[in-house]
Amino acid sequence: MNSKTLHKVSYGMYLVSSKKGEKYNGQIANTVFQITSEPPTVAVSINKQNLTHEFIRESKVFTVAILNKDVPMTFIGLFGFKSGREVEKFEGIKYRPGQTGVPIVLDYSIGFLEAQVIDEIDAGTHTIFLGRVIDADIFVDEEPMTYAYYHEIKRGAAPQTAPTYIKNEPPAEVGSGEKYKCNVCGYIYDQEQGDPETGIAPGTPFSRLPADWVCPICGAGKEQFSIA
pLDDT digits (tens, 9 = 90+) for 90-115: 999 999 999 999 999 999 999 999 99
From-to residues of CATH 2.30.110.10 in the chain: 11-153
User: What is the Cβ-side half-sphere exposure of residue 91, based on CA atoms within 13 angstroms?
Assistant: 6
Query: Looking at residue 178, what is its pLDDT?
Result: 84
DSSP state string for 134-175: EEEEESS--PBPBHHHHHHTS-----TTSTT--TTPPPPP--
Q: Which residues contact 148 (CB under 8 A, 6 or more apart)?
A: 10, 11
In the structure, what pLDDT confidence band is assigned to residue 183 with cuts at 50, 70 and 90? confident
> What is the distance between the alpha carbons of residues 36 and 24, in angstroms, rounded to a whole number?
28
Q: Is the dihedral of CA 81, 82, 84, 85 positive or negative?
A: positive
Q: What percent of the chain has pLDDT over 90?
A: 62
Q: What is the pLDDT of residue 40?
A: 95
> Per-residue pLDDT tens for 155-176?
666 666 666 555 555 444 444 4
Domain with CATH 2.20.28.10 in the chain: 179-227
Task: Report the CATH fold assignment for 179-227.
Answer: Rubrerythrin, domain 2 (2.20.28)
State residue 110 phi and psi, 5-degree precision: -100, -10
Provide the sign of the torsion angle of the four alpha carbons 110, 115, 120, 125, taken in this order.
positive
Q: What is the pLDDT of residue 218?
A: 83
Which is the CATH superfamily of the domain at 11-153? Electron Transport, Fmn-binding Protein; Chain A (2.30.110.10)
